[in-house]
Amino acid sequence: MLHLREITKAANCPDGFPFALPTIRSLNTLKLTAPVTFLIGANATGKSSLLEALAMASNRVVVGGLDLKRDPSLDAIRSLAKALKLTWSKRTARGFFLRAEDFFNFARRNRDLSAELQGYADKHADDPRVKGYLLGQKRSLEIRYGDLGAASHGESFLRVFQSRIVPQGLYLLDEPEAALSPHSQLAFLLQIRDAVAAGSQFIIATHSPIIASFPEAQILEFGPDGIRPAAYDDLEGVSLYRHFLRNPKQYLDRLFR
Segments making up each domain of the chain, as ranges:
4-100+167-255
| DSSP symbols for 234-255 | G-HHHHHHHHHHH-HHHHHHHH
Query: What is the predicted pLDDT for the residue at 179?
Result: 80
Of residues 131 and 24, which shows the higher confidence score? 24
- For the ranges 71-80, 82-91, 103-112, 158-167, the maximum mean pLDDT occurs at 82-91
Burial 108-138 (b: 16+ CB within 10 A, else e): eebbeebeebeebbeebeeeeeebeebbeeb
- Over residues 162-195, the pLDDT tens digits come to 888 999 999 999 999 988 889 999 999 999 999 9
In 3D, which of 55, 166, 149, 52 has the Cα closest to residue 107? 149
pLDDT over threshold 60, residue 254: yes
CATH 3.40.50.970 fits 4-100+167-255, yes or no: no
Residue 64, pLDDT above cutoff 80:
no
Higher-confidence residue of 32 and 147: namely 32
Give pTM, 2 decimals.
0.82
